[in-house]
Amino acid sequence: MNNKMHHKIAPDWWSKTFAGAVLGFSLAFALAGLLAWYGPGGVAAPNKTQAVMWSIAVFWMPVFAFVYLFRTGLRAVLWLSAANAVAYAALFHARGLL
């Protein structure tokens, strides 16, 4: 089989777990912040805190689960770092800090 068409998923469990746990968690915080700012009613909407709080797990767990599908742990770290940079840039922009 052609080597370019056959990509094996490397078992970099420690680095993939780190990426999912740490970078996935910080990405979930940024996405929850974006939900708070851009969600219905804006950041000052009443009774929105519980929805935003529970959305962290909703965002984090799929990232943590799918991080093992990256070919290498380094690739997982790089992609999640880039996703974090974009998400936090959008969050800081929403807050008026950028």
Quote the pLDDT of residue 47.
Answer: 83
- Give the pTM: 0.83
Q: What is the pLDDT of residues 43-86, one digit of tens each?
A: 788 888 888 999 999 999 999 999 999 999 999 999 999 999 99
When pLDDT is cut at 50, 70 and 90, the band that residue 2 belongs to is low
- Vertex 15, ends 30 and 6: CA angle to 5°? 105
More confident residue, 45 or 22: 22
Q: Which residues contact 15 (CB under 8 A, 6 or more apart)?
A: 72, 73, 74, 76, 77
Quote the pLDDT of residue 93.
Answer: 92
